[in-house]
Structure 1
Amino acid sequence: MKLSPSVEETEQYFKQLFIDQSDFQAKRLVIGGTEFRLFYFDTLIDPSNVQDFILKPLLLRPQDPIHEVVSIIDYAETEQADEAVHAIMYGKTVLQRSGESRLYLLGADLKKERSINIPSNERVLRGANEAFIENIDTNLNLMRKLINTTDFVVKTYTLGRLSQTKVAIMYIKSIADTSFVNEVDRRLQSIDIDYVEAPGFINELIQDQKFSLFPQLLITERPDRARAYLMEGKVVVSTAGSPDVIITPVSFWSFFQSSDDYQISWILGTIFRLLRISCFFIAIGLPAVYVSVSSFNPNLLPINFVNTLQSSLKYITFPPVVEALAMMLLLEILREATIRLASPVGQTIGVVGGIVVGTVVVQSNLVSNTMVIVAALTGLASFIIPSYEMSSAIRLLSYPALLLASLFGLFGLAFFFMMICIHLCQMNTIGLPYYTPPFAMNPAKDTLLRAPLWAKRTRPSGTAKANKTRLRNPRGWKR
């Protein structure tokens, strides 16, 4: 809609549009014989900014060009009413001078955001202690400070018909594959939805496999981790209102990597990486192994262990599969209760739950001592996974593994792991293979092992086709 030079008509248009908005304000000013109108939401603007940087300069120079009068960096002009409406809703102050069919969009919005804190979900012993916050501009500021190069590209646009959520994608132009960046951009811009709740909505709407339990996009709250993946040709997606960013594409092995792995020696990093991957199998298969061995194949164990196992099951009312399911469900209930309740109460629930599981349940002959140990090891093995999404998927996968083991013994468990392997091999993430062989010859692969930095001379070929060289002479001091 084209604007009228009459400030009365413009005011009538805005008042009709925001007729139900009690915090919308239209202020009339007459300065030096010239009439002005200010349009804004008083809940979104900072009154001191409007007073100091808009009104006071206008009182001194009402006839001069507006861009020479106001001292605001966030300044724009428009002749379209629709652009002015969006500017008002984003917290800007819109100014019109009588006789001009032009609106001035002045950034005097109120800045309210929490300070940058340490990461709450991805804490490390070594490394940076900064985490993203809900303000996307602050998040982009953190990334700009970490990557000081003109090749670092940030593209922003808006998603959500009603929410008008600001979304930004980040990549390094000289490293990332252009075709892949265009594909991510195409998928994001094709989202047609009323509002965007990130990262969950974006994760679900752009991933390839809609019915897979395994996470296909990596979510992190750490700027240094986002930078590390950008250096490998990945794309980072940040959304207003979310303290997390999305990294894509990632492989299955990315969910077992931690920032601590790269702050210690490569030998220790490899050991800890192998420990996490071992816990992947423990968290899925340990209850199933317990059920299959106690019900089908006790002869696979040493005779002393069999005697101990049989004695612990002697007075148990329920079969092993029932007690295993009961213990796993009880652990999930305790975990959810601890997360949802307030911190002091949550800690109390954890202590009380541990006492109940460890003493009362065993003394009541509802669950065996061995099953309590198995459940505890299973829970600890799932919690050691750095990614919350992968940890949740692992806990859910342990249930079908348990059911197959209760029906077919160790053959059922072997069949289950075979199906998981087939499923991982046929998955793609934004067009790239999700599961790559753990012992690939490319030294840039970071899978089961954390290779020494001086040996990782090339980047992953899938996402960094244009610039594969990572290191040229890493130990140049040694002749």
Structure 2
Amino acid sequence: MRVKQNPTIETAEAYFNQIFSEQSDFQSKELLMGGALFKLFYFESLVDLNLVQDFILKPLLLRPQDGIRQVVSILDYAETDHWEEAVQALLYGKVVLYQNGESKLYLLGVDLKKERSINIPINERVLRGANEAFIENLDTNINLMRKLINSTEFVVKTYTIGRLSRTKVAVMYIKSAATTAIVTELERRLASIDIDYVEAPGFVDELIREKKFSLFPQLLITERPDRARSYLMEGKVVIGTAGSPDVIIMPVTFWSFLQSPDDYQVSWLIGTFFRLLRICCLFVTIGLPALYVAVSAFNPQLLPINFVNTLQSSLKYVTFPPVLEALSMMFMLEILREATIRLASPVGQTIGVVGGIVIGTVVVQANLVSNTIVIVTALTGLASFVLPSYEMSSAVRLLSYPALLLSALFGLFGLAFFFMMLCIHLCQMTTMGLPYFTPPFSLTDTKDTLFRVPIWRLLKRPIETISSNRTRLRNPRSWKRP
């Protein structure tokens, strides 16, 4: 609704009081300066009163005859003739200044800045690399990214999602590296979200993902600006939201969740070893308890005779069958994990260590489970912690339960059937129209999936990006003499 021609102070005050009559922190101040009547509207909990005093009131008192645009020295300055825009400006922490008789409102940005300082990453600690992490302020996060990417090719587009929360969302990408079709599709999906409020990044993940019921994460979440920059350089898109210290990276493949920033800070041989270790730990997390049940209950002849004798002796006085052993210990591991996360840090560490030792010792001495399943469960838990992505680690831990049940019913055939169905599911998945489980067997793709080849061999961007500019390195070792 537009502001009518030559309205009065009473008209403006009546309009805002009608909307904010129940708000205790909504304030309006009437000022008479140089014969002109002004009215200030603001939320005292959202504005910096010192800025209002220094950059709005004092200049108006000193130069009351000049126009507001010439007097007020604030960069965040706007004018509007719509009441709705003024209401939104008030909710974002701006002061609305109205001069009696004018048909426009002045929106002055003097919002109060309250945010925590930039700290070290908490959930993605690495041995080398930058020690900066995103915070809850979106403008600060964009500032961190712009300091890392000093290029005109770096594009930031902002959107507002949520009917009630009006959450600010930023889409960031490198124009020359990102695929235009992917950026357009992402913007279409974000624009189609119609929801009251957005709790990011979880809400955004579920609202734009393609496979709604898949356990596997389809968007990569990180709190590290340097990691976000590395994916931007590969042609990915980064999504940041106000109120969240994490950003979303897309589109990504299955192999992206097995990569760590540490891989690129050490020798390529060491990085390759760590990456292969993570792949092995993924299979251990999913299949080791199931393999224990299949071998001990169905196919003990596959093991060496000495190992079979040891296994049978440990199971001789155990009360429960192997499948119940494995399920009970895996549930106990999940309980300890959740207790360690939810409690305070010192108490959580104590419960994790003492609880594991006490429970493991007591259940074995009581002949409820065998020594072997305690070792299997401990190895499974340790292997899940090796995976650098919390979302992927949680997914593979849950997948170990159906694998365990199929092994308990059909032995090794059930375990093989489970992995076959898992591969089929991964091959059917897509993210933003791109294959999720891109086979890493071509010469180009395997350089940065199963292995981490030397940096000077990574001449091309990943093929799933489908960028018009796939060249990443040009003559990287030109210093070397022929």
Q: TM-score, normalised by structure 2?
A: 0.98
Structure 1 residue 444: Cα displacement: 7.3
Match of 1:62 in 2: 64
Measured against aligned partners, the alpha-carbon deviations of 1:70-124 in whole angstroms (never above 9, x if no partner) come to 1111111111010000000000111011111111111111000001011001110
- Once the two structures are superposed, the pairs formed by residues 227-376 of structure 1 within 5 Å of their partners are 227-376=229-378
Tell me if the contact between 1:444 and 1:457 (Cα under 8 Å) persists in the aligned partners: no
Gap change, CA 1:309 and 1:204, over 3 Å in 2: same
Unaligned runs of 5+ in 1: none
Match of 1:96 in 2: 98
Amino acid at match of 2:112: L
Amino acid at match of 1:175: A
**In the alignment, does 2:433 pair up with 1:409?**
no
Runs of 4+ in structure 1 over 6 Å off: none
Measured against aligned partners, the alpha-carbon deviations of 1:199-256 in whole angstroms (never above 9, x if no partner) come to 0000001011001000000000000010001011110000000000000000000000
| 3-state SS of 1:357 partner | helix
- Once the two structures are superposed, the pairs formed by residues 422-461 of structure 1 within 5 Å of their partners are 422-442=424-444, 445-461=447-463
Distance 2:69 2:374 in 1: 72
Structure 1 residue 19: Cα displacement: 1.1
Amino acid at match of 1:133: I
Match of 1:172 in 2: 174
Distance 1:120 1:218 in 2: 16
Tell me if the contact between 1:444 and 1:458 (Cα under 8 Å) persists in the aligned partners: no
Identity of aligned residues (%): 75
After TM superposition, the structure 1 stretch with the greater mean CA deviation from structure 2, 337-346 or 154-163, is: 337-346
Gap change, CA 1:444 and 1:154, over 3 Å in 2: farther
Match of 2:210 in 1: 208
Structure 1 residue 177: Cα displacement: 1.0
Corresponding residue to 2:108 among 83, 106, 109: 106
Distance 1:135 1:384 in 2: 30
| 3-state SS of 2:327 partner | helix
Tell me if the contact between 1:285 and 1:398 (Cα under 8 Å) persists in the aligned partners: yes
After TM superposition, the structure 1 stretch with the greater mean CA deviation from structure 2, 351-360 or 291-300, is: 351-360
**In the alignment, does 2:129 pair up with 1:127?**
yes
Tell me if the contact between 1:270 and 1:451 (Cα under 8 Å) persists in the aligned partners: yes
Aligned residues, how many?
Answer: 479
Distance 2:300 2:85 in 1: 73
Distance 1:339 1:418 in 2: 33
Match of 1:195 in 2: 197
Unaligned runs of 5+ in 2: none
| 3-state SS of 1:462 partner | helix
**In the alignment, does 2:27 pair up with 1:30?**
no
Tell me if the contact between 2:445 and 2:463 (Cα under 8 Å) persists in the aligned partners: no
Tell me if the contact between 2:294 and 2:411 (Cα under 8 Å) persists in the aligned partners: yes
Distance 1:63 1:42 in 2: 28
Amino acid at match of 2:53: Q
Tell me if the contact between 1:234 and 1:463 (Cα under 8 Å) persists in the aligned partners: yes
Tell me if the contact between 1:357 and 1:372 (Cα under 8 Å) persists in the aligned partners: no
Corresponding residue to 1:117 among 113, 116, 119: 119
Amino acid at match of 1:117: N
Amino acid at match of 1:2: R
Distance 1:403 1:131 in 2: 41
Amino acid at match of 2:185: E
Structure 1 residue 2: Cα displacement: 1.4
Tell me if the contact between 1:294 and 1:309 (Cα under 8 Å) persists in the aligned partners: yes
Tell me if the contact between 1:443 and 1:457 (Cα under 8 Å) persists in the aligned partners: no
Structure 1 residue 357: Cα displacement: 2.5
Measured against aligned partners, the alpha-carbon deviations of 1:149-186 in whole angstroms (never above 9, x if no partner) come to 00000000100000000000000111111111100111
Structure 1 residue 342: Cα displacement: 1.4
After TM superposition, the structure 1 stretch with the greater mean CA deviation from structure 2, 342-351 or 432-441, is: 342-351
Tell me if the contact between 1:444 and 1:456 (Cα under 8 Å) persists in the aligned partners: no
Distance 2:445 2:293 in 1: 40
Measured against aligned partners, the alpha-carbon deviations of 1:301-357 in whole angstroms (never above 9, x if no partner) come to 111111111111111000000010000000001111111111122122112211222
**In the alignment, does 2:151 pair up with 1:137?**
no
Tell me if the contact between 2:440 and 2:446 (Cα under 8 Å) persists in the aligned partners: no
| 3-state SS of 1:372 partner | helix
Distance 1:443 1:16 in 2: 61
Tell me if the contact between 1:183 and 1:430 (Cα under 8 Å) persists in the aligned partners: yes
Measured against aligned partners, the alpha-carbon deviations of 1:122-157 in whole angstroms (never above 9, x if no partner) come to 110011111000000000000000000000000001
**In the alignment, does 2:211 pair up with 1:222?**
no
Match of 1:10 in 2: 12
Amino acid at match of 1:411: F
| 3-state SS of 2:16 partner | helix
Gap change, CA 1:440 and 1:357, over 3 Å in 2: farther
Distance 1:177 1:107 in 2: 36
Structure 1 residue 420: Cα displacement: 0.5
Amino acid at match of 1:176: A
Structure 1 residue 451: Cα displacement: 1.5
Distance 1:309 1:232 in 2: 49
**In the alignment, does 2:64 pair up with 1:77?**
no
